[in-house]
Structure 1
Amino acid sequence: MCGLVVYVLRVSSENDGSEGKVASTCDELDQVFRQVLTGRGQDGWRTVRRTSHGENKSWMMTVGASTLSLRGGGPDQHVLPREEVSEHGDGALLGWNGEVFEWTGRSEWEGRGSSGSLGTDENDSDAVLCALGMARQGDDEDLLTLLDSIRGPWALVYFDPFRRRLWWGRDRMGRRSLLMNVAAHPDIHGMNRNQQPVRFWVASVCPLSLQTENVVEVPTNGLWYMDLDTGRVSVIPRASWSLEVIPERDPRGAPRHENWARTSFLPASTRRSGKVFLPMKEAQALERFLSEMCQAVDRRLVGLGTRGETNIGILFSGGLDSLVLARLAMEQMSSNFLHASVDLINVSFGSAPFDSPDRQSSIQAFQELDKLARIQFCNVKLKLLLVDVSMDEADEKRSEIAQLIYPCDTPMDHSIRSALWFASKAHGRNFETGVVETSETKVLLSGLGADELLAGYKGRHRSVHARGGDASLLQELDADLSRLWWRNLGRDDRVVSAHNRELRHPFLDESLVQLICDIEPRHLFNMTLPDGIGDKMILRRAACCLGLSESLSQRPKKALQFGSNSKKIIESKKERR
């Protein structure tokens, strides 16, 4: 994981001292971005600056990255961006923020046989840079094809010195944050009337001084690039399809530019509205679902260490999603490591944190899981970390957190981001010992995606189903999954990564998502059954198969902002003001 930034500024072709002004501006931007990005990776920080004087335009470009080392050696081997020196004395630059869990198209570009996986000591940024160097020799579409063959979250910036292009983009789901300033179209690195360099940039986080209405989440509609000879911005598009959503108006917080909020850039095979599903019996669907869930969790253990000792954290409400993740993480870590620890992190707001719904459910769930671990997974140590947040603490961090989540700015964003920020800080009291401590884990698992895939938002999803049955509900679920890139994922990545931790989403594993989208809806949910039974029905049955009690597996959904009381505290503080 890392924090990325790239900015490109035009240098005047006349000998008027503008190059010095541009260099000075680059120095200032270096400091501004370093302040907001080093929290995302404290193992290293590096910037590489390039200046080019061409016939039509001259420009100065800086690529920078902070790094959290999780794979392929120590911090000295991880400092990004990687530099590949070309035969012509120039070099490609890669800023990579991602995890390669599987790579179906790697062999085509690297000629390494049919293997689609990386070695445990292999650095994925090196592998991506090598493959990009081969793919850039073909058509533009080859770069996107290569990147879309990667299974795992990613965001990147990539400078191709041969075509004089700067590329940037995110995976189809948008699981890693990347922002850009859209104000600079079409002459994106021109000079203004006062000869001050126009600040075009792409970055993981937007500094406060650069926050304007023109800053947006980089859409997942394709792979973007800037032609450095003309300054024009284009995109190599992914295939897309229109969302059939009701009501016709876009939801609050939707992107204001283009028609991104009403378009899906996910594979057409994940579209469930009007789909012919795979014929499957209920028992077979459950068996395959459980198998893919296990593999999805197992894949997200990459980078946690060798066969020795390791740990992982789970954002833990005690609800169904985090409960199943905890149970599967215990099983997979018990098999993969000699000694492992799982930190279950629960957050609660207010003067009486033990009164919050999530606090009570997390304690009950921990006690059941701990008994299970002592019997079946003796080499796994389970810990419940209770994070209590007072009204004053929440208010003290309000501005800092608001800067992180920008451009997300709805009331829901503010209540969720506070809960997520304090939970991912992971500083709280050990439930068993009473000792205040901070989790040492660098990786946190989140249950995001389960509700969007399995009809878990009981109020909205049940209302949609009541109006139009399964057909309308499937349209709504298509929209929910397709909107994660601007509604949840970028925001959550920015918040969690500020604590030098990486957020991983097993429910958004590509293979698991595809399987769920292939299973008949009647095996996934049944909205004619009560809350806690019909919603996320297949996941509740999976929980029972994993040995979890019916009382826990049938617990109704409680959203993070309500279960933790963050919404109540954040909004009551506003009223007091």
Structure 2
Amino acid sequence: MCGICCVVTLCSQRAICGFFNEDILYRLRRRGPDSSQQLIKTVPDLSYECLFSGNVLHLRGVVTTQPLEDANNNVFLWNGEVFNGVHVGDQENDTKVMFHHLGSCSSEVDILSLFSSLRGPWSFVFYQASRHSLWFGRDYFGRRSLLWQFGTEDDSALCLTSVSACAESANRWQEVPASGIFKIDLKACARTTSLSLTLFPWKHSCTERAVEEIFINVLDQVSKDLPNHVCIEMNESRQCLRAPVIPLNKTISEASGECPGTNISNVIHPVSVETLQGFLAEEHKKKIVHQFIDILSEAVKRRVLSLFRDEDQEVREAPSMPKRKAHIAVLFSGGVDSMVIAALADKHVPSEEPIDLLNVAFMRKKQDKQKDTTKKHTNQEVQLDLLCPRESCQDLGDKTAAHLPCFDVPDRITGRAGLKELAAINPSRTWNFVEINVTLEELKKTRQQCINHLIYPLNTVLDDSIGCAIWFASRGEGFISNQGELKPYKSLAKVVLTGIGADEQLAGYSRHRVCFKKNGLEGLNKELEMELDRISSRNLGRDDRIIGDHGKEARFPFLDEDVVSFLSSLPISEKADLTLPRGIGEKLLLRLAAKELGLTASTILPKRAVQFGSRIAKLESNGEKASSTTAD
């Protein structure tokens, strides 16, 4: 994983300094702490100049400094992982492999074919010297961040970067749309001293829509957010990238219970693990569940083994801690998404290697405790949201106290329960359950100094809450149990697995139930299709910037191309049944998979968003809506 940056200026030397400053370099180096290097390419005859900055987090093969430059003056910046589609040997570095393939491309078709074949997350910048072309873009889901900012009409320039420094510039940063890949003809732009982009969009090979319609829709979508002086056009030959996943199956069978409101919760109440066993008695259902497990397991395997392991390295920072270093961490709430990811990681991570389970909790406010004593709970809510005793946590230092009841938030409680389930599945594995406790003081300080800049250009209350929770969780500084006592611990794992993508594909959010009640399965299908279409702009760029700030890489097994294609091939009735109660109907297929993997109570936990499970939403709750901007 890397922090990459490219600045192109057509007519002004000071444009590079205006875009590329110490603040941006600092943020890029946090993403790529193992190597940092800059390269400037000047073409006096055409009056354009390019600065390339590569900041590398070493994960595969030998350490490869970026930017790469070859004998033909081509330059390459790569922030990605090749998991399939292009062969990368066990000892090879995928940056070098990709650059070699790009250097062999003799046409636009070759470049498009190469990127169409890739499986895995990526963003890149490629300067093709012989054609004075600059290529750049993000993968189909936008799993790697790439931002752009344009200069003024009088000072034509462009900056592409993994992360910006701040939001104070008059020219707003935006995420590069994951609509395809872009090309700039620098020779033509230098002559006119104006920027013009050419787009090569993604296209499903079996789509029924005409290519021209796709081009018009994508062009309209991308161009509406560009400055007026920046032009964008489709390539003249109407070439496209092949989408790496199949379109969503929207088939609705008569037997699938399309009618909203057909709630049969009374038939199977209360919800229990035994309920899932009844579904698995059906041969057809069990076959699909095992197909899903196999495909998701392979996705996890690719993400935990595509990693350089320094076998002799031990953790020497704390003598009381385990001697073996964990290379893999999981963002862990104890919910079914993170439980399945952890259980599958256990199948592939070397048995002697610990796995870090990162569990974040924000200190509960005093008034929350008082409200809880009078609040009426259902039996399940009592179990998942234990009352916090009245002792005050206000004097808690950031690094001092290991465990106080004011951190017993819902995700901490389900996390501890999930740890016991995982230990029962594999008692010989060292599971480092990292209790990450965040005080209000530390939250306010870190948000202002750091997290706001990483979330940007997103700026809603929801982005802020989720961003803060993920930042503290992925930092991995907390406490683990050592011989029955909680002691300080810092996760050194460079790879962080996250369960994002499960809710979007398996109808896990409460809004999916609302949609189903209003519009039936047809409406639900449209909603799920929209979820994947917007996941690049809504979630993934933000999460990549947040996790990458710790010199760690986010990996998303549920968004593996094979997993997405498999789930897209199934009718909605095989994935979820929202006529069933919460804790069963949403993400039904995943819950059945969890049951088959040997998990128990976690298989029927209802969906709980991280901002509520970690209690960050309550810590600073002031009646704001999730969609409100943080500047409001």
TM-score over 0.5 for the pair: yes
Contact 1:148 1:172 in 2 (8 A): no
Q: Which one-letter code corresponds to 2:461 in the other structure? A: P
Aligned to 1:110: none
Contact 1:353 1:388 in 2 (8 A): no
Hey, what's the Cα distance between the residues in 2 that align with 1:255 and 1:451? 30
Cα 1:338–1:560, aligned 2, differ >3 Å: closer, same or farther? Answer: closer
Hey, what's the Cα distance between the residues in 1 that align with 2:198 and 2:252? 33
Hey, what's the Cα distance between the residues in 1 that align with 2:612 and 2:297? 29
| C-alpha deviation, 1:303, in angstroms | 3.6
Quick check: 1:408 aligned with 2:458? yes
Hey, what's the Cα distance between the residues in 2 that align with 1:255 and 1:480? 22
Hey, what's the Cα distance between the residues in 2 that align with 1:371 and 1:388? 26
Out of 40, 47, 58, which is 1:58 matched to? 47
Quick check: 1:175 aligned with 2:226? no
| C-alpha deviation, 1:239, in angstroms | 2.1
Instruction: Map 1:478-489 onto structure 2 (within 5 A).
Output: 478-489=529-540
What does the per-residue CA deviation read over 1:353-377, in whole Å, with 9 as the maximum and x for residues that have no partner?
Answer: 4331101000011122123221xxx
Is the partner of 2:74 in helix, strand or coil?
strand
Quick check: 1:396 aligned with 2:445? yes
| C-alpha deviation, 1:509, in angstroms | 0.5
Instruction: Map 1:14-33 onto structure 2 (within 5 A).
Output: 19=13, 21=14, 25-26=16-17, 29-33=20-24
| C-alpha deviation, 1:266, in angstroms | 5.5
Hey, what's the Cα distance between the residues in 2 that align with 1:307 and 1:203? 30
Aligned to 2:589: 538
Hey, what's the Cα distance between the residues in 1 that align with 2:27 and 2:310? 34
Aligned to 1:10: 10
Contact 1:354 1:360 in 2 (8 A): no
| C-alpha deviation, 1:426, in angstroms | 0.5
Out of 77, 83, 87, which is 1:95 matched to? 77
Aligned to 1:366: 419
Hey, what's the Cα distance between the residues in 2 that align with 1:363 and 1:167? 47
Aligned to 2:512: 461
Quick check: 1:503 aligned with 2:489? no
Hey, what's the Cα distance between the residues in 2 that align with 1:569 and 1:242? 49
What does the per-residue CA deviation read over 1:265-304, in whole Å, with 9 as the maximum and x for residues that have no partner?
Answer: 956723233589xxx9322211110100110100101343
Hey, what's the Cα distance between the residues in 1 that align with 2:293 and 2:159? 43
Q: Which one-letter code corresponds to 2:250 in the other structure? A: S
Hey, what's the Cα distance between the residues in 1 that align with 2:171 and 2:447? 20
Quick check: 1:270 aligned with 2:247? yes
Hey, what's the Cα distance between the residues in 1 that align with 2:32 and 2:523? 43
Aligned to 1:40: 31
What does the per-residue CA deviation read over 1:364-403, in whole Å, with 9 as the maximum and x for residues that have no partner?
Answer: 11122123221xxx3x311100001111111111222111
Contact 1:266 1:482 in 2 (8 A): no
Aligned to 2:504: 452
Hey, what's the Cα distance between the residues in 1 that align with 2:74 and 2:103? 8
Hey, what's the Cα distance between the residues in 2 that align with 1:548 and 1:213? 50
Give structure 2 stretches of 5+ with no counterpart.
190-195, 210-221, 227-231, 233-240, 254-282, 312-323, 365-404, 626-631
Hey, what's the Cα distance between the residues in 2 that align with 1:160 and 1:364? 54
Contact 1:211 1:406 in 2 (8 A): no
Cα 1:58–1:122, aligned 2, differ >3 Å: closer, same or farther? Answer: same
Hey, what's the Cα distance between the residues in 1 that align with 2:223 and 2:469? 24
Q: Which one-letter code corresponds to 1:469 in the other structure? A: G
* Bigger shift: residues 491-500 or 296-305: 296-305
What does the per-residue CA deviation read over 1:157-176, in whole Å, with 9 as the maximum and x for residues that have no partner?
Answer: 11000110111101000000
Instruction: Map 1:111-150 onto structure 2 (within 5 A).
Output: 117-135=87-105, 137-138=106-107, 140-150=108-118
Give structure 1 stretches of 5+ with no counterpart.
12-17, 107-116, 185-189, 244-253
Q: Which one-letter code corresponds to 1:83 in the other structure? A: E
| C-alpha deviation, 1:209, in angstroms | 6.1
| C-alpha deviation, 1:213, in angstroms | 5.8
CA-atom RMSD in angstroms: 2.8
Hey, what's the Cα distance between the residues in 1 that align with 2:488 and 2:474? 15
Q: Which one-letter code corresponds to 2:424 in the other structure? A: K
Aligned to 1:320: 336
Cα 1:265–1:33, aligned 2, differ >3 Å: closer, same or farther? Answer: farther
Aligned to 1:247: none
Q: Which one-letter code corresponds to 1:9 in the other structure? A: T
Q: After the TM superposition, list the runs of 4 or more consecutive aligned residues in structure 1 that deviate by more than 4 angstroms.
A: 209-213, 240-243, 264-268, 306-310, 572-575
Quick check: 1:556 aligned with 2:615? no
Aligned to 2:198: 234
Give the share of equivalent positions with the same residue, in percent. Answer: 33
| C-alpha deviation, 1:201, in angstroms | 0.3
Aligned to 1:72: 61
Quick check: 1:300 aligned with 2:303? yes
Is the partner of 1:511 in helix, strand or coil?
helix
Hey, what's the Cα distance between the residues in 1 that align with 2:409 and 2:180? 42
Out of 214, 218, 241, which is 2:172 matched to? 214
What does the per-residue CA deviation read over 1:472-522, in whole Å, with 9 as the maximum and x for residues that have no partner?
Answer: 101100000111100000000000000000000000000011001112222
Cα 1:92–1:501, aligned 2, differ >3 Å: closer, same or farther? Answer: same
Contact 1:72 1:120 in 2 (8 A): yes
Contact 2:117 2:244 in 1 (8 A): no
Quick check: 1:566 aligned with 2:548? no
Cα 1:479–1:461, aligned 2, differ >3 Å: closer, same or farther? Answer: same
Aligned to 2:294: 291
Hey, what's the Cα distance between the residues in 2 that align with 1:439 and 1:426? 5
Cα 1:28–1:485, aligned 2, differ >3 Å: closer, same or farther? Answer: closer
Is the partner of 1:173 in helix, strand or coil?
coil
Hey, what's the Cα distance between the residues in 1 that align with 2:444 and 2:223? 28
| C-alpha deviation, 1:65, in angstroms | 1.2
Hey, what's the Cα distance between the residues in 2 that align with 1:302 and 1:569? 38
Hey, what's the Cα distance between the residues in 2 that align with 1:441 and 1:212? 38
Higher relative contact order structure (alpha carbons within 8 Å, sequence separation ≥ 6): 2
Q: Which one-letter code corresponds to 1:122 in the other structure? A: E
Hey, what's the Cα distance between the residues in 2 that align with 1:489 and 1:384? 25
Quick check: 1:386 aligned with 2:435? yes
What does the per-residue CA deviation read over 1:7-37, in whole Å, with 9 as the maximum and x for residues that have no partner?
Answer: 01124xxxxxx65x56xx4498253421111
Q: Which one-letter code corresponds to 2:120 in the other structure? A: G
Aligned to 2:488: 436
| C-alpha deviation, 1:3, in angstroms | 0.4
Cα 1:274–1:540, aligned 2, differ >3 Å: closer, same or farther? Answer: closer
Contact 1:395 1:573 in 2 (8 A): no
Contact 1:49 1:60 in 2 (8 A): yes
What does the per-residue CA deviation read over 1:61-95, in whole Å, with 9 as the maximum and x for residues that have no partner?
Answer: 1011110000011xxx3211111111xxxx11100
Contact 2:245 2:564 in 1 (8 A): no
Hey, what's the Cα distance between the residues in 2 that align with 1:499 and 1:573? 31
Hey, what's the Cα distance between the residues in 2 that align with 1:268 and 1:486? 18
Is the partner of 1:483 in helix, strand or coil?
helix
Is the partner of 1:238 in helix, strand or coil?
strand
What does the per-residue CA deviation read over 1:441-477, in whole Å, with 9 as the maximum and x for residues that have no partner?
Answer: 00000000000010000x2000111112111101100
Aligned to 2:130: 162
| C-alpha deviation, 1:572, in angstroms | 4.5
Q: Which one-letter code corresponds to 1:330 in the other structure? A: D
Q: Which one-letter code corresponds to 1:422 in the other structure? A: F
What does the per-residue CA deviation read over 1:242-263, in whole Å, with 9 as the maximum and x for residues that have no partner?
Answer: 99xxxxxxxxxx99628x9xxx
* Bigger shift: residues 339-348 or 517-526: 517-526
Is the partner of 1:272 in helix, strand or coil?
coil
TM normalised by structure 2 equals 0.76
Contact 1:373 1:382 in 2 (8 A): no
